[in-house]
Amino acid sequence: MTTAPDFPRVHIATDHAGMELSAHLVHHLGAKGYEVVDHGPKTYDALDDYPSFCINAATAVVVDQAAGTSALGIVLGGSGNGEQIAANKVKGVRAALAWNLDTARLAREHNDANVVAVGGRQHSVDEATAIIEAFLTEPFSNEERHVRRIGKIATYETTGEVVE
């Protein structure tokens, strides 16, 4: 499938609790023109270990962005908390847990988040889809204060130095 020029590639991963939502999003976003890359799991396992799926999706976002490809990520779970934590362990990822339209938009607008985490058991499919679409379509503001703050986070991530 060819990616529409204004649509980023979307890397998606889940745990067992988000599989129904993930399947919906793969189809829904693909139909809208996104190139969706599914990082699993492929089969339901109530005892699955989600970190590998989420880390793989987050890593793919960073690799794509470093190569100049527009890419964002989605990680799903029952609450989205563990999935966000796993994604945030990948250097270069700013994963945000979004629970409504405002938190999804602000994650992109103010924090240039490149991965969104959503709890599949916290929202209806329609609500979760709207939250994710808000995240995917909101641009980063590029305001100096936000760029500066993100730079301080990146400095700590790469050097361990806390910049005042």
Active site residues: 83, 110
User: What are 158's two structure tokens?
Assistant: 């790469």
Q: How far apart are CA 128 and CA 99, in angstroms?
A: 8
Name the pairing type of β-strands 9-14 and 115-119: unpaired
Instruction: Say which amino acid occupies 147.
Output: V
Tokens 């986070």 appear where? 153
Quick one: three-class SS letters along 128-152?
Answer: HHHHHHHHHHCCCCCCHHHHHHHHH
Q: How far apart are CA 38 and CA 17, in angstroms?
A: 15
Q: How far apart are CA 46 and CA 66, in angstroms?
A: 34
